Amino acid sequence: MVVVMKTSATQAEVDEVVERVREAGGEAFVSPGRSRTIIGLVGDTLQFLEMPLASLPGVEQVIRVGRPYKLVARELHPEPSTVMVGNHPIDRKTVTIIAGPCAVESLEQTMEAARMAKRAGAHLLRGGAYKPRSSPYSFQGLAKEGLEILAACREETGLPVVTEVLEPRDVELVASLADALQIGARNMQNFSLLKEVGKSSTPVILKRGLSATVEEWLMAAEYVAREGNMDIVLCERGIRTFETATRNTLDLAGMAVARDATHLPVIADPSHATGVRELVAPMAKAAVAAGADGIMIEIHPHPSEALSDGPQALTGMDLDRLVEELSALGVALKKPVPGQAKDGKKSGVGWASSR
Ligand code: PEP
Ligand code: MN
């Protein structure tokens, strides 16, 4: 960090900055200039961030040079992390497929979607039991009953379950029935919720906020990590821009920036990013080509009857085709979709017959 002093700063004011930095265990290097003095700080940046340096007399500006996060930064943890969700590893060597309905509407609908996901070769089942809806009059989810339905689907298909938790008080219950806790875009900066899932030993899938910068997204992950839970997967799900042709704008460059900055796996959700069924597969492929470590896709047995996000839901056949294409892409990129044949084609008993 660099502290820039005002042109009017006195020697006593410079000395005070130096003293405060030394008291905090850091080193301060003073460079007197022709018109102003700058002070270079060496030591624990995070510690300096907690100091009120900008408000000391004579200080004009404090410029941060390093990153404001530590635990999730790749700099201090060069090895890529693997996050186990149930028995499935999400890592940087493979492409994980997460599929399922937007919302758990009934046992029948979720079970059918879970079978579709399983048949297509997905590794994890998604589905919201607690739904963050823009309107309080829209379907809000089945809550605990929804979690039990997801657990029943896991029981039958063997697919570990990813589901959203909206409130700190629900974390324990959701974690007792699910294999990963999703933090939705609208809650990315709900710091009490982040701290609560940070205390859990269940993995967290952290969606990027609607208007969050990559740095804010990583800082949200740092909140979780600081409480002790390092099993975090970041999910790019589109950000708000001026464009209205799509629901959001899938920020693949931002995803790549995040992937470079952290050791955590980073996945993409082209369903919420586009909101348009026809755009989901192209954007899923683009995300994998850009390095995504996984894809989260919404599917529905009857999209036109879905209680939420029907227009972006894929059918079972759409998902079959997409997984096949992602497998071929994975082979070309040497980043396979686990469970798929090495040549990218489907194989094995059951696949042909169930298709
Ligand atoms: C979801 O995945 O169900 C969801 C609500 O997504 P997001 O938080 O990205 O809007
Ligand atoms: Mn949805």
pTM for the predicted model, two decimal places: 0.90
Kindly give the number of the ligand 1 atom that is closest to the alpha carbon of 296.
2
Does 351 score more than 50 pLDDT? no
- Compute the distance between CA of residue 40 and CA of residue 340 in angstroms, rounded to an integer: 53
pLDDT more than 90, % of the chain? 88
pLDDT value of position 228: 97
Instruction: Place 285 in a pLDDT band, splitting at 50, 70 and 90.
Output: very high
Kindly give the number of the ligand 1 atom that is closest to the alpha carbon of 185.
8
Residues 19-57 as b or e (16 or more Cβ within 10 Å = b): ebbeebebebeeeeeeeebbbebeeebeebeebebeebe
- Nearest-CA residue for ligand 1 atom 8 is 184
In whole angstroms, how far apart are CA 204 and each of 8, 114, 178, 231?
A: 49, 21, 11, 6
Nearest ligand, CA 163 = 1
Exposure of 286 in the CB half-sphere (CA atoms within 13 A): 16
Test site for ligand 1: of 102, 124, 130, 193, most ligand atoms within 8 A of the Cβ? 102
Residues 105-117: pLDDT tens digits? 999 999 999 999 9
Does 341 score more than 60 pLDDT? yes
Instruction: Place 354 in a pLDDT band, splitting at 50, 70 and 90.
Output: very low
Does 63 score more than 70 pLDDT? yes
Please list every protein residue whose CB sits less than 6 Å from any atom of ligand 1. Answer: 102, 128, 132, 164, 184-186, 207, 237, 269, 272
Q: Position of tokens 């070769």?
A: 121
Nearest ligand, CA 166 = 1
Residues 286-330: pLDDT tens digits? 999 999 999 999 999 999 999 999 999 999 999 999 999 999 999
Test site for ligand 1: of 207, 283, 296, most ligand atoms within 8 A of the Cβ? 207
Tell me the CA–centroid distance for residue 74 and ligand 1, in Å: 26
- Per-residue pLDDT, averaged over 242-247, amounts to 97
Q: Per the structure block, which two tokens stand in for 181?
A: 């806790």
DSSP 305: G
Residues 41-60: pLDDT tens digits? 988 777 788 889 999 999 99
- Nearest-CA residue for ligand 1 atom 3 is 102
